[in-house]
C-alpha cells in the first residue's frame, strides 16, 4: 500500500480502498468498474488478454519441500553412489 500511496500523492490522485473477493475484483477490472488493483495478481494468459498489467513489482518462486525421512533416503542413495564410484574407480 505504501507504494500506491506514494504514487497517488506524487500524481495528485484521489483514491479509496475497497476490499473485494478475487472473482469480483477480476470482473470489476475487466468491466472498468474500478481503475486499479493493489492485489498480488498472478499474470496468466487469460487475464493478460483483458487486464492491463504493469511491470511486476513482486516475483514469487515455488519450491518443493520434502520430509526428513525422504532426504535421509536420498542422502544415503547419493552416498552409496559415491561409494560405488570409489570401488569401481569413478570420480567423487
Q: Is residue 69 part of a domain?
A: yes
Q: Is residue 56 part of a domain?
A: no
- pTM score, two decimals? 0.53
The residue range of the domain holding 10 is 2-50
Could you tell me if 13 and 45 lie in one domain?
Answer: yes
User: Where are the extended beta strands (E) located within 1-92?
Assistant: none
Could you tell me if 46 and 82 lie in one domain?
Answer: no
Tens digits of per-residue pLDDT, 53-62? 888 777 777 7
User: In whole angstroms, how far apart are CA 19 and each of 9, 27, 31, 47, 76?
Assistant: 21, 14, 17, 20, 51
Could you tell me if 7 and 28 lie in one domain?
Answer: yes
Could you tell me if 46 and 10 lie in one domain?
Answer: yes
Number of structural domains found in the chain: 2
Rounded Cα distance between 76 and 81, Å, is: 9
Q: Is residue 17 part of a domain?
A: yes
Tens digits of per-residue pLDDT, 67-77? 666 556 666 77
Q: Which three cell numbers stand for residue 91?
A: 570420480
Side-chain half-sphere exposure of 78, counting CA atoms within 13 A? 6
Amino acid at each position: 500500500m505504501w507504494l500506491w500511496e506514494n504514487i497517488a500523492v506524487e500524481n495528485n490522485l484521489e483514491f479509496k480502498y475497497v476490499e473485494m473477493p478475487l472473482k469480483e475484483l477480476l470482473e470489476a477490472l475487466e468491466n472498468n468498474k474500478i481503475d486499479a488493483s493493489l492485489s498480488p495478481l498472478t499474470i496468466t494468459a487469460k487475464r493478460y488478454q483483458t487486464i492491463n498489467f504493469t511491470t511486476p513489482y513482486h516475483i514469487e518462486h515455488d519450491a518443493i519441500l520434502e520430509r526428513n525421512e525422504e532426504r535421509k533416503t536420498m542422502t544415503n542413495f547419493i552416498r552409496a553412489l559415491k561409494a560405488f564410484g570409489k570401488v569401481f574407480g569413478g570420480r567423487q
